[in-house]
Amino acid sequence: MQIDSEDLLQRFLRYVQIDTRSDSHSGTFPSTPCQWDLLRLLETELREIGASDVTLDPNGYVLATLPATSAKGGVPRMAWCGHVDTATNLPSAAKPIVHRSYDGRPIVLPDDTNQRLDVESTPHLREAIGHDIITASGTTLLGADDKSGVAIVVAAARHLLRHPEIPHGVIRLCFNPDEEIGRGMHKLDLETLAADVAYTLDSEEPGEIDFETFSADSAEIEIEGVAAHPGWAKGVMVNAVRLAGEFITALPRELAPETTSDREGFIHPLEIRGTADKVKIWMILRDFELDGLAAKRACVEAVVAKLRADEPRARFVLTFREQYRNMRYWLEKDMRPVEFGREALRRAGLKPISPSIRGGTDGSNLTARGLPTPNLFTGMHGVHSQREWVSLQDMTKAVETLLHLAQIWEEKGA
């Protein structure tokens, strides 16, 4: 397939220069107004490439349709999805740099020379020698998570619209906000999306198709101490900051993200805010199995119970919230979306792999709600860091995979 890689690149470069960082503390949807800038641009670009039924709804979902080119009846309606927001930990208005025909030497990012990529310490970079590598400049995210996925979906849609001889069923496109804070699909109306199967473009290594994610909960602990003037605090003050420190210290070190791997879950304190009077701690809990997730809840509850017993004058409020569940629980009942994805990867010349994701995707929510949604690769690496990078050639392979996927569902899905 002759895919327009330069058009794909230019779209990606446009997208990553737009700040779209989400905000978990915001009560709005989308959580940040800046996300509207990319959403509106996508609405415009989808009209320009000739997509049908292009809409941008009040919740920030851009939807569009590629009409069927197949004369066959009963072809399942497929959706391709990508999220526009970027992680909360770093700025995201990138100054992208294209390193053409990467030669294997270290890449030093100019705006912070402490940030560098080299084949010895950067996973998968050696395999990308000879590729066109895109990075940020050293002080921001690149935003390949998930603007590479967004660009791939638009490029694949453009290719199909320019080649109506390629047979496929109805394909729906969906771009959404706030995936990084676990809200990406909360307000999407599945009847409006009107798809039978979907794929998110939000994974890393070429050949990857994911059907197992963490199950995830969040936790908030509010600790209220007893205020007093520090000069006359003896026997009176209960310092909420000290209690917060005791809480963090009491969490098992062996359950931290930095000490776990593979199929091990974790308890991760994300943020602490407050004063000696009152402190709030935000956390996430992860495990591949529900009983493991329940055990991590119980661990947090036990730590809080001990602190409450040790300092009865303080007030502790612990709240858990469900975020998403392992999509394997549903996808393993009908593996056709995964098997068709693997066949598309093989047709693109790639070896399919299906690691268990130590994270989640919008597909976790969609699958639990009844829309089976495996996750496909984009070629992004080093995500959520200043050293994030992506290969244009890998992104092009992801476009090719989607084009094969459209044809496979037309051939076999009815």
Active site residues: 85, 179
Structure tokens at 156: 């694949």
- Distance (Å, whole) CA 176 – CA 141: 19
Provide the H-helix boundaries in 225-373: 240-250, 290-310, 328-331, 336-347, 362-368
Q: Measuring CA to CA, which residue among 161, 173, 203, 175 is closest to residue 350? A: 203
Give the whole-angstrom CA distance, residue 215 versus residue 273: 26
Contact 152, 402 (CB under 8 A): yes
* 165: DSSP letter: T
Identify the CA nearest to 251 among candidates 221, 217, 289, 296.
296
Q: Strand locations in 215-299, DSSP E?
A: 215-224, 266-274, 278-287
Query: Which tokens hold the place of 319?
Result: 């709240």
Classified as helix, coil or strand, 127 is: helix
